[in-house]
Amino acid sequence: MSEREYDVVIVGAGFAGMYLLHRVRKLGMRARVLEAGSDVGGTWYWNRYPGARCDVESMQYSYQFDDDLQQEWSWSERYSPQPEILKYAQHVSERYDLRRDIDFNTRVTSAAYDEDSARWTLTSEDGEKTVGHYFVMATGCLSAPNWPKIDGLDSFGGPTYHTALWPHEKVDFTGQRVGVIGTGSSAIQSIPHIAREAKHLTVFQRTANYAIPAHNAPLDPEREREIKAHYSEMRARAKTTPGGLDVVYNQDSVHDASSKEQFAAFEHNWQRGGLGFMSAFGDLMMEQSANDIAANFVRDKIRATVNDPATAETLCPKNIIGAKRLCVDIDYFQTYNRENVELIDVSEKPIEAITPSGIRAHGIEHQIDALVIATGFDAMTGALTRVDIRGRGTVPLAERWKDGPSSYLGLAMHDFPNLFTVTGPGSPSVFSNMLPTIEQHVDWIADCLGHAQKNGYKTIEADAEAERVWWAHCQDLGKIGLKTVTDSWYVGANVAGKARVFLPYFGGIPAYFKKCEEVVENGYEGFSFG
Ligand code: NA7
C-alpha cells in the first residue's frame, strides 16, 4: 500500500470533479481525483439506460468557463442523449489533459481528518490510502442508487437492471417480457424505448408523474449560430432567473388571467416544451388553487393522449405539479396506447413480492423475463453519507446527519475542516441548471483555496453558528409555498428511514450567488481560517 500526498484530493470525475481539477491546477496545487467508474462523466457515465438524455437544453447544459470550448463544441440535438454528453465529458478531459491526474476504478470508502497535520486520509475499496490537505466531495446530487425494499428482489431469476447502474453494452429486450418498477424521470425516458423492443412491458406505478414534452429535434444550425454569437449574454440572463435557465418567468398571478389567457400561457409553454413549464405564472408553487389550474391543464393533455380512459386516469398525477421535479418526456404517454404495454397501479397496495419469474401485485403474478428498477437515488446526501467521513472527533458524517443534514451554503460543515462539498445540501443544486451551478461552486471553492494559499492558512472551516443560521434559513425557505407538501426526494421521502428534511436551497440562483459573493466580500464571513 502506498501513501500518496496531494494538496487537494477530489472524489468524483463528473463535471464537478473535472472542472475543479482544472481550476486547482491553475493555482499550482497538486491534485488527485479518485473516481469509482472507469472513465469521466459522473452521472452520464452511470446512467446509460435507453432514452437517457438531459432535461435541460444542451446549449445551456454545458460548461461556460472557457469561451473557446463552448464555441468549438456542437450539440446535435436540442436535448442531447447520454452518449453525446458522455462524449462531451471525454472531450473536456482530453482538451485539458485531465485523465493523468485521475485514478479510475477507485471507490473511496472512508475519509478521516487528522487534526495535528490538518490533513485528510482517504481509503479506497482496495485499501489504498491517499492523503490530501484539502478534500472535496464532487460526488453529485443524484448518484447513490436507491434500491426498493421489496420482498424477493434477490430471488428474481432473470437479469435485473437498475437505471443508474446500466450495463455498458446494449441490453436487447427483443422478444422479452419486461417489468419496470418506478415512473420517475428515468422510467419515463426509458419506457418508450423498452416498449418498442419488448414483447410485453408491464409498468408498476406507485405515483403518477407530470411530464412535459421535450419536443426534441436536431439542433437548428441557425439557432446554434445565433446562441454562440451571444453566448455570454444568454449565460448572464440565465443567472438572473430562479432556476438558472434562460427562460422568461412571468411574475403575474394565474388568478389575474382569464381562462383563455391561462390556457394560452400554458399551451405556449407546453408547445415550447421542457422544464420551463411552470414559468407561465408567478404563483403556481405558492398556493393550491393556482397550482390546480396548471395541474388540470397537464391532466387534460394526458387524457387527450391516452386512448383508454381508465389508463389515462391512472396516469393522471393527483399531487401538486412541480413539488416533485417535472419530467421531460418523448412519447411517454403515447406509449400506453401500444398493445404490448400494461400499467399496474400500486399506489394503494404496494408490490407484494418479486418472485423468481415475475412481480406479484394485487395477488397476481406478472411473468417477466427481465426486471428494470427505476427507483431513483438517495438524493443529495446519499453519496456523502455512504462514505465513512470523520472530521474532528470520531462521529461519522452519516451519524451526524441521521436526523437530517446541515451545511453552510451547501459548501462546508463545521467540524469537518478543509472539506468542501460541490452542490451539497443547502445549495440550489437540483433546483437549478446543474452545470452552471457546479461551475459557480467550483469557482468559489478554488478561489477560497487560492485565498488560503496566498495568506498561508492551513485550515478552513465553517463556523458552527453560520452553519446553524444558514440551515435554518434553508428550512424556512422550504416551508414557503407548496414545495414540501408532496413526498419527494427533495425531502428524502423516497428512501425508507431517511429523515424528512428539505434538502436543497429554495431561494433561487440570484439570491444564492449574491450570498456567496457577499461571504467573500466580507472576508469569508462564517468561515474561520487557521
Ligand atoms: P425518481 O424520480 O426518484 O423516481 C423513482 C420512481 O420509483 C418513483 O416513481 C417512485 O415512486 C418509484 N418507486 C420507488 N420505490 C418504489 C417501490 N418500492 N415500489 C414502486 N415504485 C417505487 O428517480 P429517477 O431516477 O426517475 O429520477 C431522479 C432524477 O434524475 C430526476 O428527478 C431527474 O432530475 C434526473 P414514488 O414517487 O416514490 O411513489
Task: Compute how many other C-beta atoms are within 10 angstroms of the C-beta atom of residue 73.
Answer: 17
Sign of the torsion angle spanned by Cα atoms 403, 409, 410, 412? negative
Task: Compute how many other C-beta atoms are within 10 angstroms of the C-beta atom of residue 195.
Answer: 22
Mutation to probe ligand 1, out of 141, 185, 319 (largest number of atoms < 8 A from CB): 185
Q: Which residues of the chain have pLDDT under 70?
A: 1-3
**Residue nearest ligand 1's atom 38 by CA:** 494
* Alpha carbon distance, N-terminus to C-terminus of the chain: 31
Mutation to probe ligand 1, out of 61, 163, 206, 434 (largest number of atoms < 8 A from CB): 206
Q: Identify the CA nearest to 384 among candidates 21, 11, 85.
A: 11
Mutation to probe ligand 1, out of 44, 141, 186, 343 (largest number of atoms < 8 A from CB): 186
- Contact residues of ligand 1, CB 6 A cut-off: 142, 148, 150, 163, 181-187, 204, 206-207, 325, 346, 350-351, 374-377, 489, 494
Cell 395541474: give the residue.
295
Q: How far apart are CA 332 and CA 98, in angstroms?
A: 38
Q: Find all residues with CB under 8 Å of 218, minimum gap 6, and list them.
A: 76, 77, 78
C-alpha cell read off for 333? 404517454
CATH 3.40.140.10, domain 3-145+378-529, yes or no? no
Give the per-residue pLDDT at 1. 40
Tell me the CA–centroid distance for residue 489 and ligand 1, in Å.
8
C-alpha cell read off for 35? 473516481
Contact 20, 422 (CB under 8 A): yes
Q: What homologous superfamily does CATH list for 147-208+324-376?
A: FAD/NAD(P)-binding domain (3.50.50.60)
Cell 424477493: give the residue.
152
Give the per-residue pLDDT at 3. 62
Q: What is the 3-state secondary structure (H, E, C) of 9-67?
A: EEECCCHHHHHHHHHHHHCCCCEEEECCCCCCCCHHHHCCCCCCECCCCCCCCCCCCCH
Contact 292, 318 (CB under 8 A): no
Q: Which residues of 282-304 are buried (b: 16+ CB within 10 A; e: fewer)?
A: bbbbbeeebbebbbebbbebbee
Q: Tell me the pLDDT tens digit for each residue of 240-287.
A: 999 999 988 899 999 999 999 999 999 999 999 999 999 999 999 999
Domain extents for the chain?
3-145+378-529, 147-208+324-376
Nearest ligand 1 atom, CA 430: 34
**Residue nearest ligand 1's atom 29 by CA:** 185
Give the per-residue pLDDT at 326. 95
**Residue nearest ligand 1's atom 14 by CA:** 375
Q: Tell me the pLDDT tens digit for each residue of 377-404.
A: 999 999 999 999 999 987 899 999 999 9
Give the per-residue pLDDT at 395. 87
**Residue nearest ligand 1's atom 18 by CA:** 148
